[in-house]
Amino acid sequence: MNQSCPIGGDHSARKAIKPGDEPEGRVTKRGTMWRIGSLTAAKDVLLARHETIQAGFTAEYIPRKVFRNHPILISDGPQHDDQRRKVARFFAPKVVAECYTDLMTTVVDKIITQAQRTGTITIDDVALYYTVEVTASIVGLTHAKVPALARRLEKFFRQPPLDRSKPRLGRTNRQWMAAAANGLGPVFGLFVFDVLPAVRSRTKRPREDVISHLIEQNYNLADILVECVTYGTAGMVTTREFIAMACWHLLDDDALRQRYLAAEEDERLAILSEIIRLEPPVGHLYRRVTADVTVVDRGTEYALQPGDLVDLDIRQTNADPDAFPDGPLALCPARDRAQGVHDVGLSFGFGAHGCPGQPLALRETDALLHRLLALPVTKMREPTVNWDDLIEGYKVRGLTLYVTN
């Protein structure tokens, strides 16, 4: 273990603490819903390729017959594998480093210039436009101005509360109507002002982006739209929140910040990986069991049956002492971990359903924070933390830095 890490025993370095989200046990069942906080058992579920299907992000309520190609978010089996394999080239570490570095640098230059001119910067606002601009370029949503695209994507998440343990997500008819209104408006705007112009342009003149790839694969407009929503919201929302959270951690810990600023890229990415392990932007993943599955934790077997809903508590799995010994809730880059356990835990999923955008998210965060935190910051305004039911993640708002010229 890295002996410079402060091991705090039961002390948690987490800043995002969701009320009522305390661990209920390593593997527990209530009714037909399992909740799993054991990292090994959670991996068993994620590796059960033919026995479970996606049940998070309201995937079970997306009408699959509308699409010729099932969206990558809700597809499973060979179709998912083929989709993922073909799109992986846009997010491979080498591609991210070689193809997107100049873009990130250009956007960060504008952010730094603005901060120096105004003397103040609100991280979640900056992170929103930064992540949207980068993601839009990769996906191919380049026809509208970034602020307008950002507003459309952000509005999509203004949804009524939901409870996945209850029928119809625990929503009333009025709430379902509100969900449709809040979701369909931004999606229609995304289609008219972003997706349709991009498809028309790339049909005539393909580029090296996701939309051109989808056209080549004979995706129809509905297929392309839902993929753009998936990539756009995933690339914008989760990375935006992580940038704000990582910035907050680094600002609050002088020693860690100085270490981060002085480090080479590999060590900086390791620090960010430890922060995202501790503060996963998506706190829960859900799978629906379609055939008998057995998971094992500490030698005990648990039988999951068809119809069961499985809640993978990523915040708990990432603090599993079996996977991360010696103070799993402490922020400790280069810490010891069990064999086969990733440094980020399950923050980017695992196996075939692992997020292909991990290299982009970490490098994108580093490209901004390494420059931003080198500025002469005189003081900081603490943010507020709220929660998003749709992605089961935190929302960090109002983190403001005051910079001297």
> What would the pLDDT profile of 64-111 be if each residue is shown by its tens digit?
665 666 666 666 666 667 777 777 778 888 888 888 999 999 999 999
What pLDDT is recorded for position 158? 75
What pLDDT is recorded for position 179? 75
Distance of CA 179 to the CA centre of its chain: 21
Q: Give yes or no for a contact between 141 and 232, defined as CB atoms under 8 angstroms apart.
A: yes
Q: Give yes or no for a contact between 140 and 132, defined as CB atoms under 8 angstroms apart.
A: no
Bridge partners for 288 per DSSP: 53, 309
Mean pLDDT of the chain: 87
What percentage of residues in the chain have a pLDDT greater than 70? 90
**Phi (first) and psi of residue 126, to 5 degrees:** -65, -45
Q: Kindly tell me if the per-residue pLDDT of 151 is higher than 80.
A: yes
What pTM, to 2 d.p., does this model score? 0.90
**Higher pLDDT, residue 167 or 80:** 167
For 21, 54, 65, 136, 317, the CA distances from 62, given in Å and listed in that order, are 27, 11, 9, 24, 28
Q: Predicted confidence band at 10 (pLDDT cuts at 50, 70, 90)?
A: very low
What pLDDT is recorded for position 60? 63
The domain defined by 27-403 carries CATH number 3.40.1110.10: no
